[in-house]
Structure 1
Amino acid sequence: MVDNFSIALTHVLLAIALWRLLHRADLDLEVSPRDAWKRQRDAEARARDSSPDA
Structure 2
Amino acid sequence: MNMLFLPIIVSIFSLVFALFLIREVRKAPSGSGKMIEISFAIREGAMVFLKR
TM category (shorter chain) comes to 0.3 to 0.5
The structure with more helix, counted as a fraction of residues: 2
Q: Which structure: larger Rg? A: 1
Give me the TM-score of the superposition, normalised by structure 2. 0.46
| TM-score where L is the length of structure 1 | 0.45
